[in-house]
Homo-oligomer: A and B are copies of this chain.
Amino acid sequence: MIPRYSRPDMVANWSPETKFRIWFEIEAHAGDAMAELGTIPKENADAVWQAKDVPFDIARIDEIERVTKHDVIAFLTHLSEIVGGDAARFVHQGMTSSDVLDTCFNVQLTRAADILIADMDALLAALKTRAFEHKETIRIGRSHGIHAEPTTMGLTFARFYAEMARNRDRLDTARAEIATGALSGAVGTFANIDPRVEEHVCKQLGLKPEPISTQVIPRDRHAAFFAALGVVASSIENLATEIRHMQRTEVLEAEEFFSQGQKGSSAMPHKRNPVLTENLTGLARLVRMAVIPAMENVALWHERDISHSSVERNIGPDATITLDFALARLTQVVEKLVVYPEHMLENLHKFRGLVHSQRVLLALTQKGVSREDAYRLVQRNAMKVWEQGADFMEELKADPEVTAALSGPEIEEKFDLGYHTKHVDTIFARVFGDS
């Protein structure tokens, strides 16, 4: 985790405080369930809740861990310091460390998913607003980086909206993948703990009981979770790349917002760098790099080995913190993106009408000109535009062979940009519904 690429809520989700609080809740709820089942005395179960609003002393827990070399034992020792050793003597009974650790990890991932989903909603809102704002803002569509046919900036925003809406669904699915808990003992047989304890704890924590676990929750769930983050990150790179292209000097159809105070922007007005979207491109790589290790984590030996743990200590916080930051940064970029419709038109007209050559070609053939002749006619006029800087429409109108097939107004009609935007409403209705 790089502090400069992090936001407080997600960082807090991975703090020791949060972790120990979740551990506490798992232990306390488990105690309730055991008391209900008659396994431990109710007063002992109740006593644990005294620690509910007592802040844990992280330094103290660390101190104990340095002696015991076991994090869960260190926490339990500290807990008994708070509620009294006698009251706490049934805490954790029949449980294994993994019951606490794994369930806690999934609580944290689930909450991380909630934050990411909220981030995504904000991004979707920004994209929708900009899409409607620029629904009719004409720009040239490009394939291979080369001018193809006109489209609109609204369609650009709309397609990223649709892509991010799919990503929202993927985050929902990813959240469901890891919203499970397990308190099933050393090898998952519930030998020392009743399955109903697991059910109660999971319910209280908003999780589903893992139907079958070993010592740990199966890691295919986590692989699927991080894979989903990797897809989201790739979409961020996609949108970031679009903006980087739009901002490059020769294109200049949009710019990331520059605050007034930002150094150097007015003495070198041409030198406004798309550093936010470049940064997002890098952050996407960082999120994506969690995918393969998460998949390599799936094949644990027998009922568990601990190779996954160090990986998850890293990618759990890092991938979610980075993605949270990236989504929020991207939302800002979209909200404040400075769009230059006039530059879009300039670019579109860069080759003085050549972009319409294919429509003219089609029109000629539809008027009965043979394919070969039509091609020859378009070509000779196109070449004047390309090599001599002429205007395509004027050349066509001045070419008798062309005008023999197409009248002036017919030629002009082929240069009508409305031809390309006639289905924008249809597409918007598909993407945003009829609202």
On A, residues with C-beta under 8 Å from B are 2, 4-5, 68-70, 73, 140-151, 155, 158-159, 162-163, 166-167, 170, 173, 177, 185-192, 195, 209, 211-215, 218-221, 223-224, 227-228, 230-231, 233-235, 237-238, 240-242, 244-245, 247-251, 262-263, 266-275, 278-279, 281-283, 285-286, 288-293, 295-311, 313-314, 318, 347, 350-351, 354-355, 357-358, 361-362, 375, 378-379, 382-383, 385-386, 419-424, 426-427, 430-431
Nearest residue (CB) in B for A242 is B302
Known: A147-B270, A282-B306, A386-B270. A263 touches B220 (CB 8 A): no
A68, B238: Cβ atoms under 8 Å?
no
Nearest residue (CB) in B for A269 is B386
Nearest residue (CB) in B for A140 is B249
Alpha-carbon distance A213/B143, docked complex (angstroms):
13
> Which of B212, B218, B347, B383 touches A430 (beta carbons < 8 Å)?
B212
Contacts of A383 in B (CB 8 A): 266, 269
A195, B423: Cβ atoms under 8 Å?
yes
B144, A301: Cβ atoms under 8 Å?
yes
Alpha-carbon distance A214/B152, docked complex (angstroms):
11
Contacts of A151 in B (CB 8 A): 187-189, 303
Contacts of A173 in B (CB 8 A): 173
Alpha-carbon distance A433/B350, docked complex (angstroms):
43
Alpha-carbon distance A304/B244, docked complex (angstroms):
13
Nearest residue (CB) in B for A246 is B302
Copies assembled = 4
Contacts of A382 in B (CB 8 A): 266-269
A187, B282: Cβ atoms under 8 Å?
no
B305, A143: Cβ atoms under 8 Å?
yes
A189, B155: Cβ atoms under 8 Å?
yes
Alpha-carbon distance A354/B252, docked complex (angstroms):
15
Alpha-carbon distance A242/B213, docked complex (angstroms):
15
Contacts of A286 in B (CB 8 A): 293, 310-311, 314
Known: A141-B214, A159-B212, A275-B306. A148 touches B187 (CB 8 A): yes
A-B contact pairs, 22 of them (CB 8 A): A69-B263, A141-B302, A143-B186, A144-B278, A145-B274, A146-B247, A146-B274, A148-B187, A166-B177, A195-B423, A211-B430, A211-B431, A212-B431, A220-B231, A223-B234, A234-B295, A245-B302, A278-B306, A279-B310, A285-B292, A289-B292, A292-B292
A146, B299: Cβ atoms under 8 Å?
no
Alpha-carbon distance A39/B195, docked complex (angstroms):
66
Alpha-carbon distance A303/B148, docked complex (angstroms):
9
A2, B149: Cβ atoms under 8 Å?
no
Shortest CB distance A20–B (Å): 16
Shortest CB distance A252–B (Å): 9
Contacts of A419 in B (CB 8 A): 191
Contacts of A195 in B (CB 8 A): 423, 426-427
Alpha-carbon distance A227/B294, docked complex (angstroms):
12
Question: Apart from A148-B187, A211-B431, what 9 extra A-B contacts exist at CB < 8 Å?
Answer: A2-B313, A4-B313, A149-B186, A149-B189, A159-B212, A166-B224, A192-B362, A250-B350, A267-B378
